[in-house]
Chains A and B, each alone.
Chain A
Amino acid sequence: MDGLNRITNMRAIEPGARFTHLPPDSRAPLTVRALVFVLLLCLGSVHAWAQQNDQQQLRGLDEQVQEIKSDALSIAQELNQLEEKLLYPSGTQVAIFVALSKGDAMRLDAVRIQIDGQLVAHHIYSFKELEALRKGGVQRVYIGNIATGEHKLEVLVDGKLEGGADFNRTEHFTFRKEVKPKMVELTLAGPSSGNTPIALGEW
């Protein structure tokens, strides 16, 4: 797509020019013709956005859209902090993240997580999400509140191996919640990678 944009950005000749009724004797010298052609090239996008006024309006709007985006991001930032303070105070906050082991070819289909026997997250992965995980992204699959102390974590992973065989694994962990926010990272890997299928990392 980027490549095609580069072509259109070159303001190439405008399709739709009339060739069917050119008078046969209207041929100008090569240089003049070339100049006319260059002019046509320069006017390439005029047909698409005929009015200069439209373009100016578009640019003006673009500036305003950028401004409102900036404002919205600032609101979102404040809202995030408020939400965290109000709903997930640090004393009880727990967040669970899912990552894929680097270079792992397993196709992750779903993850199910229980804390102290309670189902807290059950996520089915889309193609885009899986790609994002494969490229090193980390998904926050759950954020919630728990009391300080020891907790049991049960993780169930469903997926498919490179050859198409089904893969599922359940692991049980124990983690300790302190006064500060607790972050738990689950790094998932297929059996062929040689890594632990579900590795727990605590932050």
Chain B
Amino acid sequence: MRTARKLIGLGLAVGLSVQPAMGIDLKDLYFGEALFHATQGQYFDALQRLDTEVAMYRGLDQPDLDTLHYHINDAEFSVGDFELSYRMHHRAGRAIKAVLEGAVDEAVRNEAAFRLARIHFQKGQLDDALNALARINGTVPPQIKDDVEFLRANVYMATGRPSEAVKVLEQPRSDPSLTGFVAYNLGIALLQDNQPLKAIEQLDKAGQLTASDPAGLAIRDKSNLVLGTILFETGNFERARQVLDRVHLEGPFSNQALLRAGTSETSANQYDRALVPWNILVEREPTDAAVQEAMLALPHAYASLNLHGRAAIMYGKALDLFSGQIKRLDASVDSIREGRFLKALIREESRQDETWVIRLRSLPDAPETYYLMELMASHDFQTALHNYLDLEDLQSRLTSWNTSLDAFEDIIALRRQNYEPLLPEVDGQFRELDSRMRLRLEQRRHLAQRLKSMLTAPRPEFLATADEAMAGERLTLIEKQLGNSDSPESVALRHRVARLRGAITWRQQTEYQERLTAAHVHLNELNTQVDVLTKEYDEFVRMRQAATHSYVGYDLQITRLRERVGEARQRVEMLMARQGHLIETVAINQLQSRRERLVAQQTEARFGVADSYDRASRAQSTGSGPAVPEIPAAEETR
């Protein structure tokens, strides 16, 4: 057992944390098949295959003769990896704990502890994550060294120990892929640790790191956005604007950055300079919260510049937009309540493309998703969604298994129907054949024994030819016919008979060795025939058994499986309903929260329209302003 665990541990050391068992010299085809499924993200199929293989391997009398023996360590760890990927954290955690408790190398144990800590952190079990991290000491595999420390810092931050996180994050790191994240997290840790000046300095560094990949660019933009917000909040508007200007205009944080850049300008009373970012922003996706904020902020800036006519028009546009978006939100809520959101989420594309739920927003036939991009991108939502998709997949599997069980029962019934009438006759013929074969085999055995005994006690008469035997019998008959007659003819005939018998005996005696050798040769030739016959006999027995095994002994297993499938289906249906309901509830809550904000903005816009018209009219009547614009249609109808 200890050796097994050690071997399992070695499997871990070969780098399964990234790509389970890829690139190895494959000796077990079924293990390769599991990898084939896993690489395509079909973790259920991969686990199903590998679980079966490992279970069969464990049940073997001589597992070292099985081809999986070459990969058993990789296979054990691959099972854990697949379980993790299939979001079965408990089972994966148990597998890793088994390694931790085994007698494995220090490096292996440390990597296992890291993986366990990562699972606990992902599940929000922070104390357990810390305990797992505390087990890491001594040699840490170089490829995970930085990841361990990054995780440790994250756990410290999540548990409200920012000063310790700062200490960890300040250590130099060699992994370039973590540079941006470490820099940003250090800034956040410093903020949490009540060191705002150092945090600003750090976020400034993070916001100017060189990056070319999307993740690097995103973390840099995020740093600049956070820093710009801090500077804005602390009244440092000019610097806030400069920092926010660094945010990439096409990046995921650009809308927020544009909004805050404009806000920084207005806070410094530079209303005209705020018009630039906000005018860019109002042309963007109207469902975005930042765009909606800008729709109100922009006319506010125009009004502050005494351009009341322009402000009135912009407020009118905002009013139109908010009214339209409120209707859209109402339609989305109704659509979700009718179950269309779940239907949109579980479309086939979501299985093919991980970013598909995000792209849903751009599809015209999924209006209920327009406002939910942020929600859909959240980790919790993704977990809920994947669980829902997994449940749906399980449901279809369970349905198909039920059909398979039906098919199995049909097959068994057909086989029974086919074999049962045939088997008694076949068995009768077989019994006859069997008894004949047994007789012949007995005769052969007897012959072999006799020949063997003749090696030590020669019996030439046993090796007489058929002619000799017949001649001998005829001579015996003649002798019998002659009886005890003393006539000269009889005496002469008796002499001739004795001579002839002597001739036969002579021949048998002189040819004895040759005949004995020939008899052995013939016996061996007979062996070949007997072997063929035995093989056919065995095949017949096997086929006879296979015929019986093809329909006998399955009833109990199928009944039990059917019960388990039925029970699992009920549970899956119940869980799907609850999971789906939860997803819908959260989505509706999100939409309602956005609706409330839009209603408030609508009121503000309505007030803004009226106020701007008043001011524009007053300005016109005093002759200091342009003509009053026409009231927008949307406002007139209200």
Could you list 5 further interchain pairs (A-B, Cβ under 8 angstroms) beyond the known A19-B259, A59-B124? A20-B300, A57-B578, A99-B32, A132-B39, A203-B29
Q: Please name all residues of chain B whose beta carbon is closer than 8 Å to the beta carbon of A61 when the two chains form the complex.
A: 384, 387, 575, 578-579, 582
- Tell me whether A68 and B230 are in contact (CB under 8 A): no
B430 interface hit (Cβ, 8 Å): no
**Within residues 23 to 53 of chain A, which ones have a CB less than 8 A from any CB in chain B?**
24, 27, 30-31, 33-38, 41, 45, 47-51
- Tell me whether A128 and B40 are in contact (CB under 8 A): yes
**Within residues 131 to 169 of chain A, which ones have a CB less than 8 A from any CB in chain B?**
131-133, 135-140, 148
Q: Please name all residues of chain B whose beta carbon is closer than 8 Å to the beta carbon of A22 when the two chains form the complex.
A: 263, 267
Number of interface residues of B (CB under 8 A): 118
Nearest Cβ in chain A — how far from B519, in angstroms? 35
Q: Please name all residues of chain A whose beta carbon is closer than 8 Å to the beta carbon of B260 when the two chains form the complex.
A: 19
**Within residues 86 to 107 of chain A, which ones have a CB less than 8 A from any CB in chain B?**
86-87, 89, 91, 95, 97, 99
Asked whether A135 and B22 contact (CB < 8 A) given A27-B235, A34-B196, the answer is yes
Instruction: With CB as the reference atom, state the residue of chain A lying closest to B192.
Output: A38
- Tell me whether B40 and A16 are in contact (CB under 8 A): no
- Tell me whether B35 and A58 are in contact (CB under 8 A): no
- Tell me whether B234 and A132 are in contact (CB under 8 A): no
Q: Please name all residues of chain B whose beta carbon is closer than 8 Å to the beta carbon of A12 when the two chains form the complex.
A: 188, 222, 226
Cα separation A57 to B577 with both chains bound (whole Å)? 13
A199 interface hit (Cβ, 8 Å): no
Number of interface residues of A (CB under 8 A): 85
A118 interface hit (Cβ, 8 Å): no
The residue that B394 contacts in the complex, of A57, A69, A87, with Cβ under 8 A, is A69
Cα separation A139 to B232 with both chains bound (whole Å)? 58
Nearest Cβ in chain A — how far from B22, in angstroms? 5
B26 interface hit (Cβ, 8 Å): yes
**Within residues 1 to 30 of chain A, which ones have a CB less than 8 A from any CB in chain B?**
1-10, 12-13, 15-16, 18-20, 22, 24, 27, 30
A to B contact number (C-beta, < 8 Å): 273
For the complex of A and B, the 8 pairs showing the least CB-CB separation, nearest first, are: A3-B215, A138-B32, A137-B36, A132-B39, A19-B263, A34-B196, A16-B289, A20-B297
The residue that B568 contacts in the complex, of A49, A72, A133, A148, with Cβ under 8 A, is A72
- Tell me whether A15 and B374 are in contact (CB under 8 A): yes
Name the residue in B29, B40, B91, B543 with the highest tally of chain A Cβ atoms < 10 Å from its Cβ: B29
- Tell me whether A68 and B394 are in contact (CB under 8 A): yes
Name the residue in B196, B213, B300, B398 with the highest tally of chain A Cβ atoms < 10 Å from its Cβ: B196
8 A-B residue pairings within 8 Å (CB atoms) = A22-B267, A50-B589, A51-B589, A57-B582, A77-B51, A97-B33, A128-B41, A137-B40
Instruction: With CB as the reference atom, state the residue of chain A lying closest to B150.
Output: A6
A121 interface hit (Cβ, 8 Å): no
- B508-516, B521-529, B556-564, B617-625: which lies at the A interface? B556-564
Taken residue by residue from 14 to 53, chain B's Cβ proximity to chain A (1 for < 8 Å, 0 otherwise) reads as: 0000010011101001101101111111001001100110
A119 interface hit (Cβ, 8 Å): no
Nearest Cβ in chain B — how far from A66, in angstroms? 5
The residue that B404 contacts in the complex, of A58, A83, A148, with Cβ under 8 A, is A83
- Tell me whether A30 and B196 are in contact (CB under 8 A): yes
Nearest Cβ in chain B — how far from A78, in angstroms? 6
B108 interface hit (Cβ, 8 Å): no
**Within residues 355 to 411 of chain B, which ones have a CB less than 8 A from any CB in chain A?**
355, 374-375, 377-381, 383-384, 387, 390-391, 394, 397-398, 401, 404, 408, 411
B542 interface hit (Cβ, 8 Å): yes
- Tell me whether B564 and A75 are in contact (CB under 8 A): yes
**Within residues 536 to 583 of chain B, which ones have a CB less than 8 A from any CB in chain A?**
539, 542-543, 546, 549-550, 554, 557-558, 561, 564-565, 568, 571-572, 575, 578-579, 582
Instruction: With CB as the reference atom, state the residue of chain A lying closest to B411.
Output: A86
- Tell me whether B218 and A4 are in contact (CB under 8 A): yes
A: residues with CB less than 8 A from B are 1-10, 12-13, 15-16, 18-20, 22, 24, 27, 30-31, 33-38, 41, 45, 47-51, 54-55, 57-59, 61-66, 68-73, 75-83, 85-87, 89, 91, 95, 97, 99, 128-129, 131-133, 135-140, 148, 179, 183, 185, 203
Q: Please name all residues of chain B whose beta carbon is closer than 8 Å to the beta carbon of A15 when the two chains form the complex.
A: 255-256, 289-290, 374
Cα separation A15 to B564 with both chains bound (whole Å)? 47
Asked whether A3 and B219 contact (CB < 8 A) given A65-B387, A69-B394, A138-B35, the answer is yes
Instruction: With CB as the reference atom, state the residue of chain B lying closest to A55.
Output: B380
Taken residue by residue from 580 to 612, chain B's Cβ proximity to chain A (1 for < 8 Å, 0 otherwise) reads as: 001001100110010001000000000000000
- Tell me whether A131 and B39 are in contact (CB under 8 A): yes
The residue that A49 contacts in the complex, of B29, B380, B394, with Cβ under 8 A, is B380
- Tell me whether A89 and B546 are in contact (CB under 8 A): yes
**Within residues 94 to 128 of chain B, which ones have a CB less than 8 A from any CB in chain A?**
123-124
B421 interface hit (Cβ, 8 Å): no
Nearest Cβ in chain B — how far from A60, in angstroms? 9
Cα separation A80 to B557 with both chains bound (whole Å)? 12
- Tell me whether A76 and B39 are in contact (CB under 8 A): no
Asked whether A66 and B89 contact (CB < 8 A) given A8-B379, A79-B561, the answer is yes
- Tell me whether B379 and A73 are in contact (CB under 8 A): no
B87 interface hit (Cβ, 8 Å): yes
Q: Please name all residues of chain A whose beta carbon is closer than 8 Å to the beta carbon of B23 when the two chains form the complex.
A: 135-136
Taken residue by residue from 318 to 329, chain B's Cβ proximity to chain A (1 for < 8 Å, 0 otherwise) reads as: 000000000000
- Tell me whether A139 and B568 are in contact (CB under 8 A): no
- Tell me whether B218 and A137 are in contact (CB under 8 A): no
- Tell me whether A80 and B52 are in contact (CB under 8 A): yes
Cα separation A59 to B32 with both chains bound (whole Å)? 34
Instruction: With CB as the reference atom, state the residue of chain B lying closest to A140.
Output: B33
- Tell me whether B411 and A68 are in contact (CB under 8 A): no
Cα separation A6 to B86 with both chains bound (whole Å)? 20
B7 interface hit (Cβ, 8 Å): no
- Tell me whether B380 and A50 are in contact (CB under 8 A): no
The residue that B91 contacts in the complex, of A3, A38, A66, with Cβ under 8 A, is A66
- Tell me whether A136 and B24 are in contact (CB under 8 A): yes
Q: Please name all residues of chain B whose beta carbon is closer than 8 Å to the beta carbon of A41 when the two chains form the complex.
A: 188, 191-192
- Tell me whether A45 and B394 are in contact (CB under 8 A): no
Asked whether A66 and B88 contact (CB < 8 A) given A8-B378, A41-B191, the answer is yes
Cα separation A92 to B289 with both chains bound (whole Å)? 65
The residue that A86 contacts in the complex, of B181, B408, B568, with Cβ under 8 A, is B408
